[in-house]
Amino acid sequence: MSEEIVVQITDLHKNYGDLEVLKGIDLTVRRGEKVVVLGPSGSGKSTMLRCINALEDADSGSIKVSGQEITDRKININKVREHLGMVFQRFNLWPHKTVLENVMLGQMVVSGKSKEEAEKRAHETLARVGLADKADQYPVRLSGGQQQRVAIARTLAMDPKVILFDEPTSALDPELVGEVLAVMKSLAEEGMTMIVVTHEITFAREVADRVIFMDGGVIVEQGSPEEVLVNPKEARTRAFLKRVL
Ligand code: ADP
Ligand code: MG
Digit-coded pLDDT (tens) for 22-56: 999 999 999 999 999 999 999 999 999 999 999 99
Angle at 85 between CA 113 and CA 51, to 5 degrees: 125
Atom 18 of ligand 1: nearest residue by CA position: 16
Taking the CA atoms of residue 15, residue 165, residue 173 and residue 134 in that order, the dihedral angle to the nearest 10 degrees is 140
Q: Which atom of ligand 1 is nearest to the CA of 41?
A: 4
Among 12, 13, 14, 16, name the best residue to mutate to test ligand 1's pocket (greatest count of ligand atoms within 8 A of Cβ): 16
Q: What is the pLDDT confidence band of residue 233, given thresholds at 50, 70 and 90?
A: very high
Mean pLDDT of 196-211: 97
Mean pLDDT of 56-79: 89
Among 12, 14, 19, 215, name the best residue to mutate to test ligand 1's pocket (greatest count of ligand atoms within 8 A of Cβ): 19
Check pocket membership of 85 for ligand 1, CB cut-off 6 A.
no
Mean pLDDT of 89-105: 95
pLDDT, position 19: 96
What is the arrangement of strands in the sheet containing 193-197, beginning at the earlier edge strand? 84-87, 162-166, 193-197, 34-38, 210-215, 218-223
Helix (H, G, I), strand (E, B) or coil at 52: helix
ipTM over 0.90: yes
Does the pLDDT of residue 1 top 70, yes or no? Answer: no
* CA atoms within 13 Å, Cβ hemisphere of 15: 6
Among 21, 45, 218, name the best residue to mutate to test ligand 1's pocket (greatest count of ligand atoms within 8 A of Cβ): 21
Does the pLDDT of residue 234 top 80, yes or no? Answer: yes
Check pocket membership of 160 for ligand 1, CB cut-off 6 A.
no
Mean pLDDT of 149-169: 97
Mean pLDDT, the chain, rounded, equals 95
This prediction's pTM: 0.96
Query: Quick check: 194 and 202 in contact, CB under 8 A?
Result: no
Check pocket membership of 94 for ligand 1, CB cut-off 6 A.
no
Does the pLDDT of residue 77 top 90, yes or no? Answer: no
Does the pLDDT of residue 242 top 80, yes or no? Answer: yes
**Ligand sitting nearest the alpha carbon of 55:** 1
